[in-house]
Structure 1
């Protein structure tokens, strides 16, 4: 049986706030007559875009015969994860081969790869786009490790100005690699290996799903971080 301390659990997804997202998210009571009881009882209906908030995109997003959220294997949304530090990038800057190769020696075959750009601070603001994008050369290097998915705390990954589709997305999807956009809190696990759970809904006919992403740190990781914070203060 696996047991976790609360200090091991790290939230990597933004909450969804009613009528505040760039993509549609509206929550409302389905039938207010249900509330007219001697006790509180409520059922809500949500109208939302599949790309609202922190979300995962699967092959059906760009491939007519690609796997939708129901068909995408759940085992490809759970696994070991590493964070690559891409801080310092500005909107519209490329994430290059040199940037991602900083993970050489840490990255292992089948890892989830999360790009820490610090752009979660722009989430739900007018500056949410543009974003640092992944170059084809950087993507090729990451894909050589057969990652389960590639994520970013920015609002996208795609090369800007491409007129014939979205090559970063298509290249990932052809290899069965999901893309996660608008993550948060990656700095909390920057120097660690964690186990990540990308909790997507298995929805038929959907190209993406809002997700709750949880990273589980090693037993000793919280202690190590606390020690590091004390050293900084000293």
Structure 2
């Protein structure tokens, strides 16, 4: 499945951070551990004391709100500006969810599904990697409520919900891969009969992220990079 399945695309005009690793290392170190994985490089794992047991990115301690750039995850954590707008998340059997840093901003690095009264999303993995089947679903009626994690449907229903929903959203072509704007806010309001919450002003270190370009490109098939990010030195790097 590629971007063609999701309809038209636009091109991101977001400006990458100048020296992201230095900022990420300093901001995230008090809340988790940096580790250097073979064939992957430096990644960050949040402390269980910080995120609780059963942490799932874009689900734990936060809510979905609508922005000019698509649906964005408004985290309850003061460090949420980094791993929910930059980089990618992936899951490993031994370590659970890990965050791979990158300098390009997005409202949320996820894919979306929608239909029959349900909404689902899945974190987009780093280039050349896969999250496997890591979809999270909830009733569309709860989508705009605070504390997303308290409304999630059981994992045992994921396969059935995959059959009941369809890919949705406009893909925005990024420097590597894409991000997805998600279901139209007007459709969410119509289906749920609820007011759609709007994002508070977002001010990453580079300043207010620019809107995605209105210039549309012909649909392209997304192909993940054939290689994973290379490992670095024996300490978190200061830059990329």
TM-score by length of 2: 0.26
Please state which structure has a larger fraction of its residues in strand.
2
Please state which structure has a larger fraction of its residues in helix.
1
Instruction: Flag the structure with larger Rg.
Output: 1
TM-score by length of 1: 0.26
